[in-house]
């Protein structure tokens, strides 16, 4: 069992010794049963850290954010940052290292093993409760997630596998391989789903049905861009789907701005939203580490993870490549081997 | 007009509206949202609150203003002003109902928005009182509303368990009730008492408090330059969830979408936009008056609890709690207001 | 049917003047309404101009309200829409809707001295005020026009300035030394201090790059101008022009409706989000 006190002590120690400028972690949210991200800068604040199956966020996003802020700052603070990371989150740090977004010594990974379970999928929970809100979600230590429903304080125990996030059910590495420290036991044997289970299931339906499904989903997209905004890999200062570029300076020429191609219109309709989501998926091929954040944040529940895991599966089956598993490895899209199936690169 | 409607007769009433577009909450893709229903048999009013608000019926995510093409070298514009059939929406929660008059104010003001009003004039809103809060983030009563507020609604229904108490509020609402008159029963004193009891109980549940509403504008004015904003926006990811789901957020973008690059034909389109996006205020020079997340969070909160109050003497927030519940990183407008008010 | 406020009127470009060259060139467009559905405007108002397929941009109306046959717009090449304008030719059609915004309260200024201070393309929004004041010359006291550009070849409305000299005092400046330049050399705020117009019974009207406006206002205050005697016109990104889309919102104001003209006294009460 993960003892949250140990995490708090470790975080406090890092801050006390000045080894990091801040620690990214989870605290109780003011708004719901789910934890929310926090950034600690004082050792005393470490007492607010929590660890439970509602610690959903992939905090690697904030490493990227900090990097951007320091790059724009006139007085950058480049001291290391500590980050509480689940197995998947640590792989996100790994990809960022592979892509040289920052250096290994810039980050202290406070790894936490999910110990063979994982985190709750708010959508599955919502389905169970038919839209009602949970007021308390706890893990009973075995295979049950205990849930209290808002407005009806009776507690229900739901088998973990029924409300765990799909990615957790298919997880290949629940303990962070990339770490400075790991809390919790490394439990490798899991009897949930095989890797890429959902993607394989989805492949079993006909192309027409698949297209109809995705048309339905793209149609519902609000284009709130939460999926992009929450993704640690979507760090580009300008995105192909934006009609404006955010790297405009006083020196950017009118021609450059006028000639910017609108690959995707702002309209939330099937074609434009399909372009947005498919482009995003392609740009994450070999980079997505399956933290499932894109799918979690989607307010209308578009199963975005399926798009990404499909490409992850291709990368694994064709190139035996798993993003973020080995930071010494060159990233998939910036390397080639003689045995690669495509000939054009040779 | 007040009537009683049994659970079974609800379907009958819906079926009398066969020349209207009828929308009702539906649970699909693990979420409640409005969907068009074809028959009374499809109605399900066991919903919490819908994820999307009713603003979409008057201010759709995408509205084509007009089509443009060239005829003999001269631009020819064809207006695409909508002319919808009457639309009836069931199951509107009172917080969303209260959003509508606030939107009416915005789309009226000095310039009447013809696209908004073409849809609005054909819209009938049938509310459903909340017997208890759906979420720990409900705060309708803290912003001057109530779980059975009639503001903005044409009809208010109250679920009495085996039957509904149905009250026609506007002439439009009464007319919709008249059409289903055979489905309704007369209301008795005990029905009235039951409805009153349920309303009273619904108000007694604790909600997120905002304290003295009248003191908030001054607190916001005083804290305009406060470092709190950057701190509270520290984990904001700058997405559009809070504003897109909000029943009163109305900001939009206008763009030309070329459908034929060869002839130059296309459409001028209005789409939802969001003050939390970085390009929202960015000038073409690259100068951005609200260039950081803190100033953008401040804008969202100030617009609702300061500027709108200064201009229209009421908050542009009805306490539905969607922006809180759906925020991926826990940004909580009630907590924000608490902090600036301290 | 209600008047469709989003549907532009058709305008035809009947004249193009190249004001300045370079990466951020300025051209002045004369626009007529071929369908005789033009509108009247007041000094300081703007119009939403369209290049169909490219989009809309809010541009100050640079011609005097007294000119009824056409409207004039001075447009700097900055982005998508303005680049399309710069590629346009005489005879081309555009979309135009408006007029939007408030106006300079010229009538309130009867009998007072007027000091105009413009820089770069910022001359355009105050140009109609200058033109109208000159047309009603007897209504006002002394009129002085300060205008500065980077170089003498960047001076806008050059020919008109010559005509203007007959009835008002013109103080031109260029930023850097130039051989044979008869006017002031240096920035506009410095020229203003050099000539030191009197604040007595005067109104100052300024528009230009934000940094220039900032120093002009500081210098006006140093010269003794009260906040109520200083007027400027601000801009923000705008999409609708009618106080709905939210882009130009600053404090309780939508600049497109309550602005763009503000006295410094009014502007000071708004957040500096422009």
B vs C, Cβ pairs < 8 A, gives: 122
C128 with C83, same domain? no
Kindly state whether residue C257 falls inside one of the protein's structural domains: no
Helix (H, G, I), strand (E, B) or coil at A213: helix
* Distance, CA of B264 to CA of C81 (rounded, Å): 15
B189, B231: one domain: no
User: Is B196 a member of any domain?
Assistant: yes
Give the number of other Cβ atoms within 10 Å of residue B337's Cβ.
24
Checking if the pLDDT of C21 tops 80, the result is yes
- Report the number of distinct structural domains present in chain C: 2
Arithmetic mean of pLDDT, A134-156: 75
Q: List CB contacts of B292: < 8 A, sequence separation 6 or more.
A: B230, B233
Continuous segment of H or E residues that includes residue A124: helix A122-128
C46-98 per-position pLDDT tens digit: 999 999 999 999 999 999 999 999 999 999 999 999 999 999 999 999 999 99
- B163 and B51 in a single domain? The answer is yes
**What does the pLDDT read at residue A115?**
82
Q: Is residue B72 part of a domain?
A: no
3-state percent helix, strand, coil for chain B, nearest multiple of 5: 35, 25, 40
pLDDT at B114 over 50: yes
pLDDT value of residue A150: 76
Q: For residue A230, give how far its alpha carbon lies from the nearest alpha carbon of chain C (Å).
A: 24
Question: Is a pLDDT exceeding 60 seen at residue A9?
Answer: yes
Q: Chains contacting C with at least 3 CB pairs below 8 Å?
A: A, B
Residue C106 has pLDDT above 50, yes or no: yes
Domain extent, residue C162, equals 106-233
State percent of chain C over pLDDT 90: 93
Considering the domain architecture, whether residues B320 and B237 belong to the same structural domain is answered as yes
- Are C222 and C208 in a shared domain? yes
CB pairs under 8 A between A and B: 152
Which chains form contacts with chain B, at 3 or more CB pairs under 8 Å?
A: A, C
Instruction: Of A62-71, A258-267, B100-109, C201-210, give the lowest mean pLDDT range.
Output: A258-267
The nearest alpha carbon in chain B to C209 belongs to B285
| pLDDT interval class at A190 (50, 70, 90) | low
Q: Which helix (DSSP H) or strand (DSSP E) does residue B269 occupy?
A: strand B265-272
Beta carbons of C79 and A254 less than 8 Å apart = yes
β-pairing, B21-28 vs B31-37, is antiparallel
Angle at Cα C254 formed by Cα C103 and Cα A257, nearest 5°?
95
What is the per-residue pLDDT for A90?
A: 95
More confident residue, A332 or B104: B104
Contact A25, A2 (CB under 8 A): no
| Average pLDDT of span A306-322 | 91
CATH of the domain at C192: 3.40.50.80
* Per-residue pLDDT at C3: 79
Listed residue (B114, B122, B120) closest to B81, CA to CA: B114
CA distance B44 to B33: 12
Strand order in the sheet with B163-168: B31-37, B21-28, B87-92, B123-128, B155-159, B163-168, B2-6, B184-186
Among candidate residues A39, A45, A30, A40, the one with its CA nearest the CA of residue A62:
A39
Residues B221, B176 share a domain: no
Instruction: Report pLDDT digits (tens) over C28-49.
Output: 999 999 999 999 999 999 999 9
The strands making up A35-40's β-sheet, listed across from edge to edge, are A35-40, A22-28, A81-85, A107-112, A181-183
Q: Of C69, C100, C131, which marks where a domain is finished?
A: C100
What are the C-alpha distances in Å from A255 to residues A100, A248, A261? 32, 12, 12
> What is the structure's pLDDT at C2?
47
Place A178 in a pLDDT band, splitting at 50, 70 and 90: very high
Q: Are residues B192 and B285 in the same domain?
A: no
Inter-chain CB proximity C24 and A260 less than 8 Å: no
**Are A39 and B235 inside 8 Å of each other by CB?**
yes
What is the model's pLDDT at position A186?
79
Which chain B residue has its CA at the smallest distance from A58's CA? Answer: B329
Contact A32 B325 (CB under 8 A): yes
Tell me what pLDDT residue A246 has.
65
How close is the nearest chain B Cα to the Cα of A229, in Å? Answer: 6
- Is residue C246 a part of any domain in this protein? no
Q: Is the pLDDT of residue A277 over 70?
A: yes
Yes or no: say if A146 and A163 are a contact pair by the CB < 8 Å rule.
Answer: no
pLDDT tens digits, B126-174? 999 999 998 889 999 999 999 999 999 999 999 999 999 999 999 999 9
Residue at C34 is within a domain: yes
| Range B71-77 average pLDDT | 92
Look over chain A and give the mean of its residue pLDDT values, rounded to a whole number: 89
Q: Does position B5 have pLDDT exceeding 90, yes or no?
A: yes
- How far, in Å, are A50, B113, B238, B246, B312 from residue B333 at the CA level? 22, 29, 15, 12, 20
**Mean pLDDT over all residues of chain C?**
95
The number of distinct structural domains making up chain B is: 2
B261 lies in some domain = no
> Are residues B43 and B164 both part of a single domain?
yes
- For an interface test with A, give the residue of B26, B134, B237, B290 to mutate (most A CBs within 10 A): B237
For B324-338, the pLDDT digits (tens) are 999 999 999 999 999
Rounded CA-CA distance C201/C246 in Å is 37
pLDDT of C1 higher than 50: no
Complex ipTM, two decimals? 0.93
Same domain, B35 and B120: yes
Q: What percent of chain C has pLDDT over 70?
A: 99
Q: Do B192 and B246 lie in a common domain? A: no
Of residues B24 and A254, the one with the higher pLDDT is B24
Mean pLDDT of C109-118: 97
Q: Which residues of chain C have a CB within 8 Å of the CB of A251?
A: none
Three-class SS of residue A275? helix
Average confidence score pLDDT of chain B: 95
Residue B189 and residue B152 share a domain: yes
What is the arithmetic mean of pLDDT over A21-37?
A: 92
CB contact under 8 A, A257 and C80: yes
Which tens digit of pLDDT belongs to each residue from B180-216? 999 999 999 999 999 999 999 999 998 999 989 999 9
Same domain as B158, residue B217: no
CA distance B285 to B309: 32
Q: How many whole angstroms separate alpha carbon A25 and alpha carbon A55?
A: 9
**Facing residues of C118 across strands?**
C147, C207
pLDDT at B249 over 60: yes
Residue C169's beta-bridge partner residues? C144
- Domain region containing B279: 213-253+275-341
Are C114 and C229 members of one domain?
yes
B304 shares a domain with B198: no
Selecting from A34, A217, A250 the residue whose C-beta is nearest the C-beta of B285 gives: A250
* A253 → closest Cβ in C23, C80, C86: C23
Give the per-residue pLDDT at A179: 94
- Asked if residue C126 and residue C83 are part of one domain, the reply reads no
Residues B218 and B330 in one domain: yes
Positive/negative CA dihedral, B108, B112, B116, B117: positive
Give domain status of residue C264, yes or no. Answer: no
| pLDDT of A309 over the 90 cut | yes
| Residue B17 belongs to some domain of the structure | yes
- Asked if the model's pLDDT at residue A146 lies above 90, the reply is no
Q: E-strand spans in C151-243? A: 169-174, 184-185, 202-207, 230-233
Hey, of A23, A25, A31, which one would you mutate to test binding to chain B, going by the most B CBs within 10 A of its CB? A31
Rounded CA-CA distance B278/B296 in Å is 8
Give the tokens for residue B61.
């995510």
Does residue B294 carry a pLDDT above 70? yes
State the pLDDT at residue A345: 57
Report the alpha-carbon distance of residue B216 to residue B218 in Å, rounded.
5
In which element (H, E) is residue C31 found?
A: strand C26-32
- Our CA-based measurement puts residue B165 at a distance from the nearest CA of chain C, in whole angstroms, of 38
Residues C26, C138 within the same domain: no
The larger pLDDT score, comparing residue C141 to residue A253, is at C141
Nearest to C245 among B252, B268, B299 (CB): B252
């Amino acid at each position: 069992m993960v003892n949250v006190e140990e995490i708090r002590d470790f975080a406090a120690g890092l801050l006390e010794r000045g080894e990091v400028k801040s620690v990214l972690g989870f605290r109780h949210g003011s708004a719901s049963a789910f934890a929310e991200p926090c950034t600690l800068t004082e050792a005393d604040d470490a007492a607010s850290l929590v660890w439970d199956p509602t610690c959903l966020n992939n905090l690697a996003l904030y490493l990227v954010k900090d990097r951007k802020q320091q790059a724009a700052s006139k007085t950058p603070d480049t001291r290391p940052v500590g980050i509480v990371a689940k197995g998947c989150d640590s792989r996100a740090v790994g990809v960022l290292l592979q892509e040289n977004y920052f250096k290994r010594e810039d980050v202290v990974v406070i790894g936490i093993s999910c110990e063979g379970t994982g985190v709750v999928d708010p959508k599955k929970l919502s389905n169970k409760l038919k839209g009602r809100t949970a007021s308390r979600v706890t893990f009973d230590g075995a295979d049950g997630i205990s849930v209290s429903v808002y407005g009806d304080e009776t507690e229900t125990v739901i088998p973990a596998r029924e409300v765990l996030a799909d990615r957790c059910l298919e997880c290949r590495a629940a303990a962070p391989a990339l770490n400075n420290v790991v809390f919790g036991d490394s439990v490798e044997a899991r009897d949930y789903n095989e890797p890429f289970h959902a993607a394989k299931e989805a492949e079993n339906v006909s192309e027409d049905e698949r297209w109809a499904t995705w048309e339905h989903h793209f149609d519902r997209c609000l284009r709130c861009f939460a999926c992009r905004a929450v993704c640690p890999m979507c760090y580009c200062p300008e995105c192909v789907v934006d009609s404006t570029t955010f790297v405009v300076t006083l020196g950017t020429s009118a021609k450059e701005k006028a000639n910017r191609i609108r690959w995707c219109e702002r309209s939330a309709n099937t074609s434009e939203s399909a372009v947005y989501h498919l482009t995003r998926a392609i740009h994450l091929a070999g980079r997505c580490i399956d933290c499932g954040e894109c799918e979690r944040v989607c307010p209308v529940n578009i199963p975005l993870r399926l798009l990404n895991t499909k490409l992850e599966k291709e990368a694994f089956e064709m190139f035996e490549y798993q993003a973020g598993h080995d930071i010494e490895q060159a990233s998939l899209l910036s390397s080639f081997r003689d045995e690669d199936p495509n000939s054009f690169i040779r | 007009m007040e009537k009683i409607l049994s659970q079974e007769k609800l379907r009958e009433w819906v079926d009398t509206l066969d020349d209207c577009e009828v929308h009702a909450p539906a649970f699909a893709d693990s979420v409640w949202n409005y969907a068009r229903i074809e028959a009374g048999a499809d109605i399900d009013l066991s919903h919490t609150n819908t994820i999307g608000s009713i603003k979409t019926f008057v201010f759709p995510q995408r509205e084509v203003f007009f089509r443009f093409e060239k005829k003999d070298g001269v631009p020819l514009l064809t207006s695409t002003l909508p002319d919808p059939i009457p639309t009836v929406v069931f199951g509107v929660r009172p917080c969303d109902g209260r959003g509508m008059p606030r939107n009416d104010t915005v789309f009226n003001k000095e310039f009447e928005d013809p696209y908004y009003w073409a849809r609005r004039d054909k819209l009938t809103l049938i509310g459903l009182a909340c017997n208890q809060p759906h979420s720990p983030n409900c705060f309708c009563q803290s912003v001057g509303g109530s779980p059975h507020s009639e503001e903005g609604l044409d009809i208010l229904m109250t679920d009495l368990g085996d039957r509904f108490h149905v009250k026609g509020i506007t002439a439009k609402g009464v007319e919709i009730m008249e059409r289903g008159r055979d489905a309704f029963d007369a209301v008795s004193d005990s029905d009235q008492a039951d409805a009153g009891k349920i309303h009273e109980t619904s108000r007694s549940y604790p909600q997120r408090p905002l304290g003295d509403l009248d003191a908030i504008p001054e607190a916001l004015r005083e804290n305009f330059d406060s470092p709190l904003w950057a701190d509270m926006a520290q984990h904001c990811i700058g997405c559009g969830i809070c504003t897109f789901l909000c029943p009163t957020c109305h900001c939009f973008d206008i763009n030309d979408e070329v459908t034929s690059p060869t002839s130059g034909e296309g459409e001028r389109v209005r789409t939802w936009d969001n003050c939390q996006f970085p390009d929202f205020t960015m000038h073409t020079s690259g100068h951005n008056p609200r260039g950081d997340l803190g100033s953008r969070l401040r804008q969202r909160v100030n617009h609702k609890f300061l500027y709108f109050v200064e201009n229209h003497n009421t908050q542009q927030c009805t306490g539905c709690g969607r922006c809180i519940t759906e925020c991926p990183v826990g940004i909580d407008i009630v907590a924000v207001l608490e902090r600036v008010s301290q | 049917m209600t008047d469709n406020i989003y549907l532009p009127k058709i305008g035809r470009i009947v004249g193009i003047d190249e004001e300045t060259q370079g990466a951020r060139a300025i051209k002045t467009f004369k626009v007529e309404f071929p369908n005789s559905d033009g509108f009247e405007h007041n000094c300081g108002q703007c119009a939403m101009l369209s290049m169909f397929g490219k989009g809309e941009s809010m541009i100050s109306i640079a011609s005097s309200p007294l000119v009824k046959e056409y409207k004039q717009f001075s447009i700097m090449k900055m982005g998508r829409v303005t680049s399309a304008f710069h590629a346009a030719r005489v005879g081309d059609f555009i979309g135009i809707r408006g007029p939007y915004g408030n106006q300079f309260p010229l009538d309130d200024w009867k009998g007072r001295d007027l000091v105009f201070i413009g820089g770069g393309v910022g001359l355009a929004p105050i140009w109609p005020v200058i033109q109208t004041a000159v047309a009603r010359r007897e209504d006002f006291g002394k009129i002085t026009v300060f205008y500065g550009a980077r170089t003498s070849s960047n001076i806008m409305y050059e020919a008109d300035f010559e005509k203007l000299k007959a009835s008002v005092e013109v103080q031109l400046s260029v930023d850097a030394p130039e051989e044979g330049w008869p006017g002031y050399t240096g920035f506009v705020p410095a020229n203003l201090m050099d000539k030191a117009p009197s604040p007595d019974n005067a109104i100052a009207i300024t528009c230009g790059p934000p940094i220039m406006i900032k120093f002009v206002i500081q210098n006006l205050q140093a010269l003794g101008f009260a906040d109520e005697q200083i007027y400027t016109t601000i801009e923000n990104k705008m999409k609708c022009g009618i106080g709905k889309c939210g882009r130009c919102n600053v404090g309780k104001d939508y600049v497109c409706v309550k602005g763009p003209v503000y006295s410094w006294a009014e502007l000071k009460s708004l957040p500096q989000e422009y």
